[in-house]
Amino acid sequence: MFLCAFLKFSQMKAGRTMSQSGKFCSAGFITSTLFGDITFLQIKEEVLMDFTLSKEHLLFRQMVREFVENEIKPIMQDIDEEERFPKEVWEKLGPTGLLGIQYPKKYGGQGGDYLAYVMAIEEISKYCASVTSGIAAHSSLCCWPIYQFGTEEQKMRFLPELLSGKAIGAMGLTEPGAGSDSAAQQTKAYLDGDHYVVNGRKCFITNAGEAKYYTTVVMTDKSKGNKGMSILVIPADAPGFTIGKHEKKMGIRASATADLIFDNCIVPKENLIGKEGDGFKMIMQTLDIGRIGVGAVGLGIAEGALEETLKYVSQRKQFGKTIGSFQNTQFEIADMKTRVDSAQLIIYRAACTKDAGLPFGLYACMGKYYGATVGSDITRRCVQLFGGYGYMREYHVERMMRDAKIVEIYEGTSEIQKMVIAGHLKVGK
């Protein structure tokens, strides 16, 4: 219950989740913020950070680290080897508040800000990206559309159970023929009296088979293209809903990944989020939110690999010296540290921009793209510094390198992020 107790002090206001002593400045207007000692200055809708984290954020980070040390680190190698979803970890995530950091207390959340959520993802990813992949799918992809676009009745019906950890959530978006092109959805739903009938298949779904609720994208009017997409919350026990084959993956092997199969699946009409046809707009906004956290997954992996490598090069001797004393190693370490810190600044900026209530889509894409790039680059270079040992499963950098690759692919590939970034900059227009 450490997080619950820690966050008791915060008195959050809707849409404002910042520091108690920081300031947000806009056109001569100053207001106190509510979470963290971060100063925001708005200039043409941009956020400039005071890089000093609040005592509350620092304490929070230490608490997350202790949770990881006690609950995740002892089993992280085993669950990867066994390709086992760590139910014992998830049973503790809810009671500690780590599944509802950025959501209002009214719905069972902790009333924290998005920066705190990102910091939690970062810290856990240093040791186990399988766990954070599941948290991101649960918190950002499943819960956020319900919170942002659902009715009050829907929020009260789903969120307390999800944010407390009594239920796990997932999102059904990707299909065999609809990956980067989300508009190519084939899963259809039509209204039949008091329920929707759903037919189709989703693939590569994180938390599949473990989740109780699936925030699922369906086509309610295929003829309208993007404007015919809608979102349904589909419970795991819905008639006609089954879980397909579980995937054998290169990395994040302790996360659950499988197909969702809908064969005349019956879903109550009151499980429709928003209006029919609003699905595409809602999904795009949800992905913007989620990308910040996914970038933090790549960042955390890179930080964890670098920490392991610093220990290794300080101990490993060749030619009578530690390899850390060689200039080549020092140059590599210096460059990697600079890249990791650069990624952290971009991702924290995205989170703080969101917390300030300003447009954050560009920064979210930049954070996701660079966090993913740094994760893959740093882990590859760390394995190289370990030499042959880095290729062995006994050493964590091997697993980290495998885990890092997925960050460049899921929730929008790096190529998609670059397209979106260029779009924000109106390149070629």
Q: Which sequence positions are flagged as catalytic?
A: 411
The label of the residue with tokens 């964890």 reads 304
Angle between helices 114-125 and 55-67 (to 10 degrees): 30
**Residue 195, class by beta-carbon neighbours within 10 Å (0-12 exposed, 13-18 middle, 19+ buried)?**
middle
Query: Cα torsion at 78, 81, 83, 89 (round to 10°)?
Result: 20
SS3 253: coil
Do 158 and 233 meet the contact criterion of CB atoms below 8 Å apart? Answer: yes
Tokens at 201, concatenated? 């298949």
Instruction: Give the per-residue SS3 of 80-137.
Output: HHHCCCCHHHHHHHHHHCCCCCCCCHHHCCCCCCHHHHHHHHHHHHCCCHHHHHHHHH
Q: What is the amino acid identity at position 28?
A: G
Paired sense of beta strands 169-172 and 213-219, if any: parallel
DSSP string of 259-305, one letter each residue? EEEEEEEEEEGGGEES-TT-HHHHHHHHHHHHHHHHHHHHHHHHHHH
Query: Cα torsion at 131, 407, 102, 109 (round to 10°)?
Result: -30
**Residue 334, class by beta-carbon neighbours within 10 Å (0-12 exposed, 13-18 middle, 19+ buried)?**
exposed
